[in-house]
Amino acid sequence: MTRDLPTTEPQRFDGPVVVEGVSKKFCRQLKTSLSYGLRDICRDVLGLDRNGSTLRPGEFWSLENVSFRLEKGESMGLVGANGAGKTTLLRVLSGLFRPDTGSIRIRGRLAPLIALGAGFRPVLSGRENIYVNLSILGMPLQEIEARFKDIVEFSELEETIDAPLQTYSSGMAARLGFSCAIHTEPDILLIDEVLGVGDLRFRTKCYRRLAELRRRGTAFLLVSHSPAAILGSCDRCIYMARGKIAEIGETSHVIRRYEEDLRRIPTLTPGKTGTQAASKAVVVEGFKVHDIFFADADGNKLVSPVCGDPVTLRIRCSGSIDFPGVKATIIVREGFGDLQTVLTLSTGETPLNLRQGQNEIILGFPYLGLQSGFYTTKIALTASTLEHIAAIETFRFNVERNHRTQHSLFYQPCDWQVVSAVDAGESNHYAISGKGEHAT
Amino acid sequence: MTSNESQLPSTLPVAEVAYSPESAVHHPVVLIRRMVHESWRFRELVRRVVVRNLRAQYRQSLLGYLWAFIPSIATAVGFSLAKDAQVIRVGETPIPYLVYVMVGTVLWQTFIDALNGPVDALRDFKGILSHIYLPPEIVVLSQMGEVLVEFLIKLLLLVIVFVLYGVQPGVAVVFAPILLALLIIQATVIGLILAPLGTLYHDILKGIPVVIGFWFLLTPVVYPMPQAGGIFSFIVRTNPATHFLVAAREAMTGGVITNGWFLAGLGAASVIAFFLALIAFRVSIPFVVERAGE
């Protein structure tokens, strides 16, 4: 019985989503936008052509000529900067916006995990809200009743299900919303950054459930700012920029391109970074920060430090008097303040003694752990009186990629060894038979 | 179809949908079939919204459902007093004036509720419509159901008043439900056209109460149908709200309906207009969501 039995189930998929040359235009001026809207409504109701392919004054393409296919059981990532058109694309796919050109064909039940818990009312109990939410997702009463137990069980809210929703924590409400959405047995799931649901354990459970759906043939379109999330779960990926598909294909290839573009955006010129920051750094009269820069082990200024290299961060400053016992705090943030990674470096127990005249504060990194990318830094110097003597709001720098790391959040220097009992003989001296260096 | 769905959800027929810039009115059969199919699929939502809104409406009030009666009683008492004091002069009414006004205001209130239905529905559901696909006509159907239930509650008041004043409905009362349905449908048509436009331009929403106040005076709610002739009579007779309201009141209070064929014609036109307006509403919602969504 290893041969496939003839299936009685009807053919469920024929490329669940086919998008061909879809464009969508928007207008940023509200008044103009409303009058265009009124005109579009009138023309559409009367069955006249809306001239979708030409831009009217004040309009721009939010999506431009987007084409792709999503196959059965396929998981597609969608990345791009804010305003690149990701959300518009999801809304056009869900049928909320009409495309201005092109066509979209969808076979099967599409569930957007975009607005979790649509229609949730705080005064209603969790139980009533499940009914409301599922009826909004288009489910008849008998089906809701059939799934009710599973939903409550999955959300782990058995004890509070009859309490009003307003007594739930936001994490509990999100769990309920997620649980409802995935129990609609969708053929296609659109996921927009919603997996920050609940605690880590529940998140893991969500991912497991999504994987299970995928095995059963559900196709995914996953929007995320985090390349790591996409890399971990998508076969293919779309990179959108300014409403167009900039790159589509195998995920790691697309993500690499996306990351490269992300790094390119700020267009930093060497030297400008530090001095610009320093000019705004005067907090206390008689103390001045002149320059901030990265340097190699020999003290040579670096335009951009390389990930994994030994580097130093140097702060050149001068004081009209001695500043003993200075403490420094440096907050490093990835990107433009999306708060993805925050590293706080503090001098802690070893105060810096600055003398009258020129000083150079040197912060040494045996290995630069930051991954290639663009970083924004805040630097604060505090005197022993706890008074800020210098505060640098933004010091920006790029970190260059090195050959040792790929798809990693940070660079972890490490040694590899093998210790074999055979080599060591009877004595418990371990022999080192290999050594290498690798990134996480 | 339903029993199938509930037992074997995995063998649901695969729904295929297509989105394109082409206007949906080019394929009326596909459009109507989809509207019917989706209305059926979302029936649970319709039921739920009706119940929820009815419950929520009087949740935070001490008098509760009495509020369904109070406006009609107040209007009727007010106009009766004014008439008795001869502040206003209205023609002779076949039944006691108080009852006459009460029936009139209940019908008028139903007309206004139905007119505001699509507007209110769109305001309530704009957030959800901006994030999740819902067939837009669903929200309108829910509102119509709610208007109907509210009328039935008010009917209770009318029955009590009829008994107290000894008003007896005649045979024509069998037409009352149809006339009432047509009154609601007619008002909904107007609401369906105003709602999307009003969501784009709030001028329309602000204008509606102003127009309604004026409209009330031009409809025979607190006075009987004026004699033919004269500008006022012409305006009252041209007023679309007049005919079903007056006929429904006649039917309920033992009067006679003389203009049967005219009402049938107007009724047919209203029903056709209703379906056209429902299609127009559905077609326009994506544009409204896009321009004025949340």
CATH number, domain with residue A287:
2.70.50.60
Q: Which of A263, A296, A314 is the last residue of a domain?
A: A263
Residue A126 lies in a domain: no
A334 and A422 belong to one structural domain: yes
User: Domain containing A37 — which CATH number?
Assistant: 3.40.50.300
Domain ranges of chain B: 25-292
Chain A residues within an 8 Å CB radius of B8: none
Record: contact B15-A108, CB cut-off 8 A: yes
In this structure, is residue A369 part of a structural domain?
Answer: yes
**B contact test, residue of A30, A45, A125 with most B CBs within 10 A:** A45
pLDDT confidence of residue A16: 85
Asked if residue A136 is part of any domain, the answer here is: no
Domain boundary among the residues A263, A294, A323 is at A263
pLDDT at A183: 87
Number of structural domains in chain A: 2
Q: What does the pLDDT average to over B79-102?
A: 90
* A339 neighbors A332 (Cβ within 8 angstroms): no
pLDDT at A353: 87
Same domain, A256 and A381: no
Shared domain check, A296 and A404: yes
Mutate to test the interface with B, among A96, A191, A216 (most CBs of B within 10 A): A96
Asked if residue A276 and residue A219 are part of one domain, the reply reads no
* Residue B10 forms contact with A (CB below 8 Å): yes
Neighboring chain B residues of A106 at a CB cutoff of 8 Å: 16-19
pTM of model > 0.90: no
Whether residues A193 and A277 share a domain: the answer is no
Residue A428 belongs to a domain = yes
Tally A–B CB contacts below 8 A: 156
Does residue A154 belong to any structural domain of this protein?
Answer: no
d(CA A61, CA A242): 8
Q: Do A137 and B48 touch (CB under 8 A)?
A: no
Nearest CA in chain B to A107: B16
Q: Does A70 map to a domain?
A: yes
- Residue A146: what pLDDT? 92
**pLDDT-above-70 percentage for chain B:** 95
Tell me which chain B residue has its CA closest to the CA of residue A50: B21
Q: What is the pLDDT of residue B130?
A: 87
Q: From the CA of B78, how many Å to the nearest CA of chain A?
A: 38
pLDDT score of A273: 46
A286 with A395, same domain?
A: yes
Closest CA in chain A for residue B15? A108
Q: Is A103's CB within 8 Å of B200's CB?
A: no
Do both A235 and A293 map to the same domain? no
pLDDT value, residue A1: 38
Is the CB of A140 less than 8 angstroms away from the CB of B134?
no
The model's confidence at residue B22, banded by pLDDT at 50, 70 and 90, is: confident
* φ/ψ (deg, to 5) at B207: -75, -30
Which amino acid, residue A268?
A: L
ipTM for the predicted complex comes to 0.84
The confidence score (pLDDT) of residue A434 equals 45
Percentage helix, strand, coil, to 5, in chain B?
75, 0, 25
State whether residue B171 sits within 8 Å of chain A by CB: no
* B15/A52 touch (CB, cutoff 8 Å), yes or no: no
pLDDT in tens, A248-280: 999 888 988 887 777 664 444 444 444 344 444
Burial (CB count within 10 angstroms: exposed 0-12, middle 13-18, buried 19+), residue B254: middle
In a domain, A181, yes or no: no
Claim to verify: residue A255 and residue A286 sit in the same structural domain? no
Residue B106 has a pLDDT of 95
pLDDT of residue A406: 62
Same-domain pairing of A390 and A428: yes
Residue with the bigger pLDDT between B17 and B214: it is B214
Final residue belonging to a domain, choices A263, A282, A307: A263
Contacts of A403 (CB under 8 A, 6+ apart): none
Mean per-residue pLDDT, B150-163: 92
- How many of the other CB atoms lie within 10 Å of CB of A164? 15
Instruction: Specify whether A327 is located in the same domain as A357.
Output: yes
Q: Which residues of B touch A62 (CB under 8 A)?
A: none
Closest residue by Cα to residue B35 from B293, B292, B289, B277 = B277
Collect all residues of chain B within an 8 Å Cβ-Cβ radius of residue A47: 23, 25-26
Most confident of A326-340, B70-84, B123-137: B70-84
CA of B141 to nearest chain A CA: how many angstroms apart?
A: 14
Q: Are A29 and A68 in the same domain?
A: yes
Range of the domain at A277: 270-436
**Residue with more model confidence, A431 or B204:** B204
* pLDDT beneath 50, residues of chain A: 1-13, 265-281, 337, 431-440
- Shortest Cα distance, chain B CAs vs residue A254, angstroms: 28
